[in-house]
Amino acid sequence: MKALIIVDVQNDFLENGSLAVPNGNQIIPIINEIQNDFDLIVVTQDWHPSDHKSFAKEHPGKKEFETIDLNGLEQVLWPVHCVQGSFGAEFHQELNTNSVEAIFRKGMDPEIDSYSGFFDNGKRKNTGLFGYLKDRKVSEVFVCGLAADFCVYFTAQDALDLGFQTTILKEATKPINEENWKIIQKKFQENGGEII
């Protein structure tokens, strides 16, 4: 069984959003078009409390996109984004979610960020996505959405580590940082992942 994981296609990561990914809107029609090719579609949703410690405003004197140590993990400080219940946290209205069977939310614990749809960044808590995919007899996972160099990559790398044959759909994702994304793609392929 082939599953498509659509990562964080939420208003804050799109045009006029607080953490807009360059050209992010271009992937929405592509994601809508490819959905027929999969047996199962799930989505992830970044879902932060308003005082999440990944937000730069929680660290006086620190700037957005600076890196700090947060409870022992390296943490990039982000603009406020995807706050629970806000418009920015909603899926983009052009994303077709009719065939989406389940939504996996992440990033609710204010003390730790959660890029992957499977676990938080410290692998302290499991979202249940692994059990769900196993239960649905999934063997192949395809990952698309935003952002390529953060949540898409971490989700795909975890899928690979968990034993799924894993592919990142390059035309259906966009990075925050192109240089970072080039390095990550190489690393992901060396780890046994596919990028098509």
Q: Are strands 67-70 and 73-76 parallel, antiparallel or unpaired?
A: antiparallel
Q: Are the CB atoms for 24 and 154 separated by under 8 Å? A: no
DSSP 71: T
Supply the minimum distance, in Å, between the C-beta of residue 146 and ligand VGL: 5
Q: Which is nearer to ligand VGL, 119 or 150 (CB)?
A: 150
Q: Is 144 a catalytic residue?
A: no
158 touches ligand VGL by CB under 6 A: no
Q: Which is nearer to Zn ion, 46 or 158 (CB)?
A: 46
Q: Is 82 a catalytic residue?
A: no
Supply the minimum distance, in Å, between the C-beta of residue 135 and ligand VGL: 25
Contact of residue 8 among ligand VGL, Zn ion, none (CB under 5-8 Å per partner type): ligand VGL
* Strand intervals (E) in 26-139: 40-46, 67-70, 73-76, 102-106
Q: Which is nearer to Zn ion, 79 or 161 (CB)?
A: 79
Q: Comparing C-alpha atoms, which of 183, 182, 122 is closest to residue 158?
A: 122
Q: Is 134 a catalytic residue?
A: no
Contacts of Zn ion in 97-116 (CB under 5 A)? 107
Token pair listed for 146? 């935003």
The torsion angles phi and psi of 65, rounded to 5 degrees, stand at 75, 0
Torsion of CA 79, 84, 87, 92, to 10 degrees: 90
46 touches Zn ion by CB under 5 A: yes
Q: Are the CB atoms for 155 and 118 separated by under 8 Å? A: yes
Would you tell me how many other CB atoms lie within 10 Å of the CB of residue 36? 8
Supply the minimum distance, in Å, between the C-beta of residue 45 and Zn ion: 10
Contacts of ligand VGL in 96-155 (CB under 6 A)? 146-147, 150-151
Site string for ligand VGL, 41-80 (x = CB under 6 A): -----x-------------------------------x--
CA–CA gap between residue 143 and residue 145 (Å, rounded): 7
Active site residues: 8, 106, 151
Residue numbers of the site for ligand VGL (CB under 6 A)? 8, 13, 46, 78, 146-147, 150-151
